[in-house]
Amino acid sequence: MPSRQQLANAIRALSMDAVQQANSGHPGAPMGMADIAEVLWNDFLQHNPANPQWANRDRFIMSNGHGSMLVYSLLHLSGYELPIEELKNFRQLHSKTPGHPEYGYAPGVETTTGPLGQGISNAVGMAIAEKTLAAQFNQDTFNIVDHFTYCFLGDGCLMEGISHEASSLAGTLGLGKLVAFWDDNGISIDGHVEGWFTDNTPARFEAYGWHVIAGVDGHDPQAIKEAVAAAKANTKQPTLICCKTVIGFGSPNKSGSHDSHGSPLGADEITATREFLKWPHGPFEIPADIYAGWDAKSSGAELEETWNAQFSAYANAHPELAAELTRRLNGDLPADFAEKAQAFVEQSQEKAENVASRKASQNSIEAFAAIMPEILGGSADLAGSNLTLWSNAKGISADDANGNYLYYGVREFGMSGIMNGIGLHGGFRPFGATFLMFMEYARNAVRMASLMGIPNIFVYTHDSIGQGEDGPTHQPIEQVANLRLTPNLTTWRPCDGAETAVAWKSALERKDGPSALVFSRQGLPAQARNAEQLANVAKGGYILKECDGVPQVILIGTGSEVGVAMDAAEQLSAKGVAVRVVSMPSTSVFDQQDAAYREAVLPRAVKARVAVEAAHVDYWSKYVGLDGAVVGMSTFGESAPGGVLLKHFGITADAVAQKAHGLLNC
């Protein structure tokens, strides 16, 4: 029977050997946190290596994702489908072991980490999802949803602002089943942290309302075990276990130094480490007794079987709840979604309300939340401006998690990282809102959702200078382009109620990535559409106004500028110009249409094209080329009423018509 330290040393050996083989990577954190991980995984973690998707597993997140070899070692040793060959291929193309843990590559990786501080926000999201799902579905004796979320953290995570946002909200919400472990090794990349990081971290987390267990020796299995037990026993507060560790533990000459952080130890030091750790086995060699000590396959199977039996009983007692929970965990839309959603789209078209698209968005939320109880809304303290509340919205609080709305506070990045955790957990379709400008505060979490393919919905209102008096700090210029250029993110900027309904419907139907829904503050005119046009909205771009014969000029508009393009078209038509107007609510969706459709909307032969958007002009070169023109912005905005600004910056029908005349005359 191997000792605990020997079990932990398997992680150390695999980590240093894989980094050495890749000649790239981070041995320090895995070697430092090996003992903590060993205790957590062997004594506490409820999981089933044979089924990484088991709904009620404990979640394990490594927020300091550069220590990915710790995760891969744990998954390999405990019996996941991650053979030793994959560890030998660490950081190589087509391996399951990329440099940072990537969601969807190795089984058992719960989220992609690496961008520091986001893992803890994902963990907070998972703990919220667990608590709220439990509140919605658990019945009498059936604790069908009942698991912990464990998160490892480094100094870097704690320095990042997002750790403040997420941890503060976790304290407020009393997430008792969240347990975080601080790898207090006193080292970051620049060296010993005293020169730049002197927080009293235990006091900081106590200030957030956390249960803090300070001064744990991160290399003492008994101390770690007692701390985790105490953490689990406190069900009212999240717990931070502060573990004093030595980075690169086991390396005689590099432990305790940033030299072990982000580079291979080197062959000689690896030999010395093997000696120090009394680990005589060759690279990637794990003795059978060590594997046996780690193996979680049978215990995991047993755990899941027990839960399955419990779930069967639950399904007998509460068949509808069980079916609904299953549907929601599978991420399936309700059976009547398509029909009801289509009806809502048609109704939105018929109503033809002249409202701000943010108001149209609220109407959509009202309609879709009634169909999909898995919608979990929220806003970063702008509910009344983003218009994110609906009639049955109910806030989630520490004492009552049975809600469907999160008051995120002024925490855009935290909100977005938490949404990602909720989305990854399953059971919910989160949306979260802020002003489009403050998407920037949260930007990298939006990218992470895109990278992981989480179908979250990011709602962004006040989308241009039309916002008005708040001035340039609140007026997006380059932000919509930034969203559109993000791979796997679908961005919608609808022009009226019907397009807004389609955008929401499309976002909810997406399964493989997030959507950004971009809305105006100001009122917008409803556009007339026939059935074919209404159906084509979902194609991202379509002919909203057609002319007889081949168009001489095509006007392309989006969002609040579709009305401008329509007005310009009227002016041009009056002068006998054959003009087509294309509404382009989603460029990425339009780009995904087949070539014939795209050619039908934007025929290559028509070079006279004018795009209009109260956003940066450069983006539109993609559709108008060198021969077309763009009416848009290339400077910052100003503070004044929105209508005044649109005129001041020339986002007008006159300007569009003038550009079109210019193209036709040359």
Q: How far is the CB of 260 from its own copies (least distance, A)?
A: 14
62 is written with which tokens?
Answer: 């490594």
Q: How far is the CB of 247 from its own copies (least distance, A)?
A: 14
Binding to its own copies, residues 524-553 (CB under 8 A): none
Q: What is the DSSP letter of 395?
A: B
Place of tokens 């105490």: 230
Q: Which is nearer to its own copies, 189 or 550 (CB)?
A: 189
Q: How far is the CB of 644 from its own copies (least distance, A)?
A: 6
Q: How far is the CB of 659 from its own copies (least distance, A)?
A: 17
Binding site members: 26, 66, 114-116, 155-156, 185, 187, 261, 358, 385, 438, 462, 470, 474, 521
Considering only 78, 111, 112, 515, the residue that binds its own copies (CB under 8 A) is 112
Listed residue (223, 222, 278, 224) closest to 250, CA to CA: 278
CB 547 within 8 A of CB 578: yes
238 is written with which tokens?
Answer: 């999240």
The reply on whether position 165 binds its own copies by CB under 8 A is yes
Name the CA radius of gyration of the chain, rounded.
27
DSSP-based three-state secondary structure for 598: helix
Q: How far is the CB of 626 from its own copies (least distance, A)?
A: 3
Q: What is the DSSP letter of 523?
A: B
Q: What is the DSSP string of 96-131?
A: S--SS--TTTSTT--S---STTHHHHHHHHHHHHHH
Q: How far is the CB of 396 from its own copies (least distance, A)?
A: 9
379 is written with which tokens?
Answer: 């806003």
**Kind of pairing between the strands at 191-192 and 187-188:** antiparallel
DSSP-based three-state secondary structure for 433: strand
Listed residue (605, 619, 621) closest to 553, CA to CA: 605
Q: Which is nearer to its own copies, 172 or 299 (CB)?
A: 172
Q: Which is nearer to its own copies, 102 or 567 (CB)?
A: 102
Separation CA 464–CA 475 (nearest Å)? 5
Q: Which is nearer to its own copies, 306 or 634 (CB)?
A: 634
Binding to its own copies, residues 400-429 (CB under 8 A): 407-411, 413-414
Q: How far is the CB of 238 from its own copies (least distance, A)?
A: 13
The amino acid at residue 82 is: L
Binding to its own copies, residues 448-467 (CB under 8 A): 448, 450-451
Q: Which is nearer to its own copies, 202 or 373 (CB)?
A: 202
Considering only 152, 307, 458, 619, the residue that binds its own copies (CB under 8 A) is 619
Binding to its own copies, residues 191-210 (CB under 8 A): 193, 195-201, 203-204, 206-209
Which entry of 160, 269, 412, 561 is annotated as an active-site residue? Answer: 412
The reply on whether position 625 binds its own copies by CB under 8 A is yes
Q: What is the DSSP letter of 657?
A: H
Q: Which is nearer to its own copies, 116 or 341 (CB)?
A: 116
Q: Which is nearer to its own copies, 306 or 592 (CB)?
A: 592
Q: How far is the CB of 524 from its own copies (least distance, A)?
A: 19
The reply on whether position 65 binds its own copies by CB under 8 A is yes
Binding to its own copies, residues 592-611 (CB under 8 A): 604, 607
The reply on whether position 188 binds its own copies by CB under 8 A is yes
376 beta partners: 430
The reply on whether position 164 binds its own copies by CB under 8 A is yes
Binding to its own copies, residues 487-506 (CB under 8 A): 487-488
The reply on whether position 128 binds its own copies by CB under 8 A is no
Measure the N-to-C terminal CA separation of the chain; round to a whole number of Å: 86
Q: Which is nearer to its own copies, 485 or 550 (CB)?
A: 485
310 is written with which tokens?
Answer: 């419990």
CB 463 within 8 A of CB 500: no
Listed residue (460, 450, 466, 415) closest to 633, CA to CA: 466
DSSP-based three-state secondary structure for 304: helix
Residue window 466-485: x/- pattern of binding to its own copies, with contact defined by CB under 8 A? --xxxxxxx--xx--xx-xx
Binding site members for thiamine diphosphate: 66, 114-116, 156, 185, 261, 438
The amino acid at residue 289 is: D
| φ, ψ of residue 524 in degrees (nearest 5) | -135, 145
478 is catalytic: no
580 is written with which tokens?
Answer: 């087509």
491 beta partners: 516
Q: What is the layout of strands, in order, in the sheet containing 429-435?
A: 405-407, 375-379, 429-435, 457-461, 515-518, 490-492
Considering only 37, 242, 372, 382, the residue that binds its own copies (CB under 8 A) is 382
Residue window 638-657: x/- pattern of binding to its own copies, with contact defined by CB under 8 A? xxxx--xx--x---------
Q: How many residues bind its own copies (CB under 8 A)?
A: 111
Residue window 24-53: x/- pattern of binding to its own copies, with contact defined by CB under 8 A? xx----------------------------
DSSP-based three-state secondary structure for 458: strand
Q: Which residues are the active-site residues?
A: 412
